[in-house]
């Protein structure tokens, strides 16, 4: 499922109608969740369709502000990458590899 974006929410006919408006949707009855192809802009499209609604998107795709390293502030890096319109996954990768680099450099 690594090449799919997963979205879950309690049953709501309005939500089902919204999710079906997004291209590539697929329902997984065994896990009671929806998935979409992991393509550029899909997370933004999901967020736009469900603006203001309570849905659960795969935690790996959540905003990075809660995952910033305490000792080395990556908020400026994150802000710069967002301003340059990098994708959330790319930003996550940049932050991660900077953290790994700093941990390795300290040892």
**Distance between start and end Cα atoms, the chain:** 35
pTM of the predicted protein model: 0.52
13 and 39 share one domain: yes
3-class DSSP state for residue 89?
Answer: helix
Range scoring the smallest mean pLDDT among 52-61, 63-72, 80-89: 63-72
Tell me what the pLDDT averaged over the chain comes to. Answer: 79
Q: Which residue reads 């192809």 in tokens?
A: 37
3-class DSSP state for residue 33?
Answer: strand
Higher pLDDT residue, 77 or 65? 77
Structure tokens at 26: 């697929």
96 and 74 share one domain: yes
21 and 42 share one domain: yes
Torsion over CA: 65, 74, 87, 7 (sign)? negative
pLDDT digits (tens, 9 = 90+) for 19-30: 999 999 999 999
| Residue ranges of E strands in 20-93 | 26-28, 33-37, 56-57
Region 54-80: mean pLDDT is 61
**Domain enclosing residue 76, as ranges:** 64-106
51 and 16 share one domain: yes
The rounded distance, in Å, linking the Cα atoms of 17 and 95 is 36
Highest mean pLDDT: which range of 14-23, 37-46, 97-106:
14-23
50 and 75 share one domain: no
pLDDT digits (tens, 9 = 90+) for 59-69: 555 444 344 34
């Amino acid at each position: 499922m690594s090449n799919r974006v997963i979205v879950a929410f309690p049953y709501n006919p309005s939500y089902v109608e919204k999710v079906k408006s997004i291209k590539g949707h697929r329902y997984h009855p065994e896990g009671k969740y929806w998935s979409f192809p992991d393509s550029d802009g899909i997370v933004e499209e999901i967020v736009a369709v469900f603006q203001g609604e309570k849905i659960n998107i795969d935690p790996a795709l959540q905003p990075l502000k809660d995952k910033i390293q305490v000792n080395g502030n990556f908020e400026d890096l994150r802000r710069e990458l967002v301003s340059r319109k990098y994708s959330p996954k790319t930003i996550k990768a940049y932050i991660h590899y900077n953290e790994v680099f700093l941990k390795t450099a300290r040892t």
